[in-house]
Amino acid sequence: MSTSTRHQPRTPATNRPRVVVPLWTTAVTAVVAAVAIAVVALLSGPRHSRPPAAAPAPPVTAVAATIDGQEIPVRELALYLAQERSATFTHFRQEFGAEDGPGFWTTEHDGRTPAAYLRERALADVTRVTVELHLAHREGLLADSGYDAFLANWQAENARRRTAVAAHQVIYGPVQYTESNYFTYVLNNLAAALRDRLTATRAITTPDSALRSWFTTHRADFPHQSFTTAHEQVRQAYVLARYQALIDHLAESAHVRVHHKVFDAVPTT
């Protein structure tokens, strides 16, 4: 579509009436124009100034990381995020005076948000547990170190407990384990069995000289006891320390690959 404008004959300049515009009118017009421009700029605004929409949470089966070839699904990572959430909140409250609220997890402190800090702690935790499970598998204490195998065992254990309760049989522990509680239960028992296995195979040795040295260094942990009376306690503490050092070493040397598209989208709240 086009429009046309009919042009009128121009009045000679000498015959035009002279219009005098007061200075205050010009000033007001300029101010109004400036305000209008500012309002338009505020309303339209650059697109990047708006906070980006939150990414949708990935499915629980999506792989968030791979540790020494073992895939870590979102569902497993979520356990560690839940475990570390309270410690993360305490850290930022004590170190930076951060208060709980809608922006707590996304507000930066020294260049890092609580959400990023929480994910780092969860990744360190899952790395340590993964190498521990791999070691238990190599030592013949675990048939399958994958999380799918754990979930199958958890469901089977709860089914066994339901059957036992229905048959009025005695069971120890809860009638039904939550996923998190069963994982902690299995891991604690496995770690104890693994320490015993490593001691029995002399991967961890307990010479008397090392135990005496440990007793002397940690004398405050054994008040009113001699080395002889505290011998078994000293041995257990020494084995635990050696075991933890071994797992720490394996975790530090583990090959960790983070799948950031999934990992960064896992909810922290």
Segment 49-72, tens digit of pLDDT: 333 445 688 999 999 999 999 999
Q: What's this model's pTM, rounded to 2 decimal places?
A: 0.77
CATH top-level class of 65-263:
mainly alpha
Q: Facing residues of 70 across strands?
A: 67
The token pair that represents 212 in the structure block: 């005496």
Domain positions in the chain: 65-263
Tens of pLDDT, residues 99-145: 998 899 999 999 999 999 999 999 999 999 999 999 999 999 999 99
Tens of pLDDT, residues 224-251: 999 999 999 999 999 999 999 999 999 9
Q: Kind of pairing, strands 70-73 and 63-67?
A: antiparallel
Cα(208)–Cα(34) distance, integer angstroms: 87
pLDDT at residue 14 greater than cutoff 60: no
Q: Kind of pairing, strands 70-73 and 256-258?
A: unpaired
Cα(92)–Cα(132) distance, integer angstroms: 29
Percent of the chain topping pLDDT 70: 80
Q: Facing residues of 173 across strands?
A: none
pLDDT at 56: 83
> What is the H or E stretch that residue 11 is in?
none
> Which SS3 state, helix, strand or coil, does residue 258 take?
strand
Residue 257 DSSP symbol: E
